[in-house]
Structure 1
Amino acid sequence: MSAPPRTPSPLLGPLRQTGRLFTLAAEVCRAAFRRPFQFREFIEQFWFVASVTILPAALVSIPFGAVIALQVGSLTQQLGAQSFTGGASVLAVIQQASPLIVALLISGAGGSAICADLGSRKIREELDALEVMGISPVQRLVVPRVLATMLVAVLLNGLVSVVGTLGGYFFNVIMQDGTPGAYLSSFSALAQLPDLWISELKALIFGFIAGVVAAYRGLNPRGGPKGVGDAVNQSVVITFLLLFFVNTVMTGLYLQIVPPKGG
C-alpha cells in the first residue's frame, strides 16, 4: 500500500521566494559591472522615476518636518529643554524621515511602474525572446532600472532633508514661538557629518531594495494581466516591510558604532 503524499510545508514557498529574491539581487550586482552598459535605458528610467517622485517628495516632506518639529517642540517645552528642539527635530528628519519618505515614494510610484512594465513584457513573452537571442533580461532591463532608483533615492534624499528641515524650522518658529538662533545653534551642537552619511547610505540601500523587489515581482507574475496587477501590489507591500526592517537594523548599528557628538 503506497504512502499518502506529503503535504508541502507552508513555509517552503516563502523561503523559496526569499531565496530567489536574494539570487536576483546578487545577479543584479554582478551584471552592473558587465559590458555593455545600457546607458540610454538608465537615463530614461532615471528621468521617469525622478519626474514622478520629485514633486510628491517635496510636498510630503513639509508636513513631515512640521509634525516632527511640533511634536519635539511640545515635548521639550514640557521638559524645559526648548534649546534642543532644533537639533532633535532636524536629526529625526535627516536620519529617519527623509530616507523612508523617499524610498516609499519611489516604491509606490516608480517601483510599481517598473513592476508593471516588466510584468507586461513577461506575459507577452518579450523576456523569453531576449533570452533566445542570447540577451540577459537582467542586464538589459533590470540593472538600468535598479541603478536609476538608487540614484534618484540619493538625490531626492538631499532635497527632502532640506525641505523637511526648513518646514520644521518655519513651524517651530511661527507656531511655537521658537527662537531662530536657538533652533540653529542646537542643530549645530548635536548634528555631525556621519548623520548625513548614514542618511544617504540608507537612501542608497532603500533605492536598491525598491528596485530589486519591483523587478523580481515583475519578472515572476502569476497568470495574465490580473497576475501583473497582483504583482504590483505585492511589490509595494514587500518593499515597505523590508524598508522598515532594514531601517531598524541600520539605525541600531549606527547608534552603536558612531558615538553621539560630544560623547
Structure 2
Amino acid sequence: MTVDTVALIPRRPFAWKEFLLQSWFVARVSLLPTVLLALPFSVLTVFTLNILLVEFGAADFSGAGAAYGSVTQIGPMVTVLVVAGAGATAMCADLGARTIRDEIDALRVMGVNPLQALVVPRVVAATFVAVMLSSVVILVGLVGSFVFSVYVQHATPGAFAAGITLITGIGAVVIALVKAALFGLSAGLIACYKGMSVGGGPAGVGQAVNETVVYTFMTLFAINIIASAIGVEAIS
C-alpha cells in the first residue's frame, strides 16, 4: 500500500477538497495539544541544561542549548506525538468505519480507486501539517525557553539571543523539517493501512486505532535515530 500510495501522489486527479478538509481537521485537533506539550518539554530541557551551564560558569550560552534542543529534537518529536495521538487515530477510525460499512468496496465497484480518493490526500495532509506544526513547536519552544531562562533563571537576554545561532544553523532546521515530514508521512501511512485493513466489526476498529498509536510511536523512534545520525553526518 505504501508503494501504491507514493506512486499515486503525483498522478491526476488529486483530491484537493479532501486534502484541505483533512489538513484543516488534523491542524485543528493538533495545534493546541502541540503548543501545550512544547512548553513543558522546552522548559524542562532548558532548566536542566542551564543548571549545568551555571555550574560551568557558561550561563550566557543557554540560548545555544535551547535552540539546538528545540530545533533538532523537541520540534519534530512533539509534533509527531500529537499528530499520531490525535490526527492519525481519527484517520484510522474514519477509514475503519468506512471499511466495515463496505464503503471502500462500493468505491471499487464504482471504478474509484480508494487509495487515490481517500488515502493519498490523508497521507499528504498528515505530512504537510506535521511540517507546519514542527515550525510552530520550534518557535514556541524558543520563546518559552527565552522567557524561562531570562525571567526565572536570570540569564542575560542579549547573550541568550546571540547564542541561538551559535551551533544551530540552516542545516539543522532543514533536517528537523525533513524529520517532521517523514514522521507525518509514516503516521499517515500507518493510520490509513490499519483503517483500510480493519476486520471484525466495530471492535476491530478500536483495535486498529490502538495499534496505529503503538506502531506509529515505534516507527517514530526508529526514524528519529536514523535521521538524526544521517543529519549529524551531513552537517559535519
How would you bin the TM-score normalised by the shorter chain?
over 0.9
Kindly indicate whether the alpha-carbon contact (under 8 Å) linking 1:146 and 1:211 is maintained by their aligned counterparts in 2: yes
- Could you tell me which of 158, 161, 173 is aligned with 1:196? 173
Please tell me whether residue 131 in structure 1 is matched to residue 131 in structure 2.
no
Question: For residue 179 of structure 1, what is the amino acid of its counterpart?
Answer: T
Q: How high is the TM-score relative to the length of structure 1?
A: 0.87
- TM superposition shift of 1:188: 2.2
Distance (whole Å) between structure 2 residues aligned to residue 180 and residue 117 of structure 1 = 48
Distance (whole Å) between structure 1 residues aligned to residue 134 and residue 27 of structure 2 = 12
Distance (whole Å) between structure 2 residues aligned to residue 143 and residue 255 of structure 1 = 31
Q: Which range is displaced more, 179-188 or 159-168?
A: 179-188
- Could you tell me which of 203, 218, 221 is aligned with 1:241? 218
| Structure 1 segments unaligned to the other structure (5+ residues) | 1-23
Aligned residue number for residue 39 of structure 1: 16
Aligned residue number for residue 229 of structure 1: 206
Alpha-carbon RMSD across the aligned residues, in angstroms, is 1.0
Q: How does 1:103-252 map to 2 (within 5 A)?
A: 103-252=80-229
For residues 120-171 of structure 1, give each alpha carbon's deviation from its aligned partner in whole angstroms, at most 9, with x where no partner exists.
1111111011111221111110000011111111111111100111001111
Q: Which range is displaced more, 91-100 or 58-67?
A: 58-67
Kindly indicate whether the alpha-carbon contact (under 8 Å) linking 1:202 and 1:247 is maintained by their aligned counterparts in 2: yes
Aligned residue number for residue 39 of structure 2: 62
For residues 156-196 of structure 1, give each alpha carbon's deviation from its aligned partner in whole angstroms, at most 9, with x where no partner exists.
11111001110011111111111111111111222211111
Kindly indicate whether the alpha-carbon contact (under 8 Å) linking 2:100 and 2:199 is maintained by their aligned counterparts in 1: no
Please tell me whether residue 30 in structure 1 is matched to residue 17 in structure 2.
no
Kindly indicate whether the alpha-carbon contact (under 8 Å) linking 2:194 and 2:208 is maintained by their aligned counterparts in 1: yes
Q: State the SS of the aligned residue for 1:188.
A: coil
Q: How does 1:1-12 map to 2 (within 5 A)?
A: none
- TM superposition shift of 1:26: 1.3
For residues 223-255 of structure 1, give each alpha carbon's deviation from its aligned partner in whole angstroms, at most 9, with x where no partner exists.
110010000000011000100110011111111
Kindly indicate whether the alpha-carbon contact (under 8 Å) linking 1:115 and 1:235 is maintained by their aligned counterparts in 2: yes
Aligned residue number for residue 77 of structure 1: 54
Distance (whole Å) between structure 1 residues aligned to residue 96 and residue 212 of structure 2 = 11
Please tell me whether residue 99 in structure 1 is matched to residue 73 in structure 2.
no
Distance (whole Å) between structure 2 residues aligned to residue 27 and residue 137 of structure 1 = 11
Question: For residue 109 of structure 1, what is the amino acid of its counterpart?
Answer: A
Question: For residue 22 of structure 2, what is the amino acid of its counterpart?
Answer: Q
Q: State the SS of the aligned residue for 2:164.
A: helix
- Could you tell me which of 56, 60, 63 is aligned with 1:86? 63
Please tell me whether residue 50 in structure 1 is matched to residue 27 in structure 2.
yes
Q: Percent identity?
A: 40
- TM superposition shift of 1:79: 2.3
Kindly indicate whether the alpha-carbon contact (under 8 Å) linking 2:172 and 2:235 is maintained by their aligned counterparts in 1: no
Q: How many residues align?
A: 236
Distance (whole Å) between structure 1 residues aligned to residue 4 and residue 77 of structure 2 = 25
Distance (whole Å) between structure 1 residues aligned to residue 46 and residue 7 of structure 2 = 43
Question: For residue 166 of structure 1, what is the amino acid of its counterpart?
Answer: V
Question: For residue 214 of structure 1, what is the amino acid of its counterpart?
Answer: A
Distance (whole Å) between structure 2 residues aligned to residue 161 and residue 257 of structure 1 = 21
Q: How high is the TM-score relative to the length of structure 2?
A: 0.97
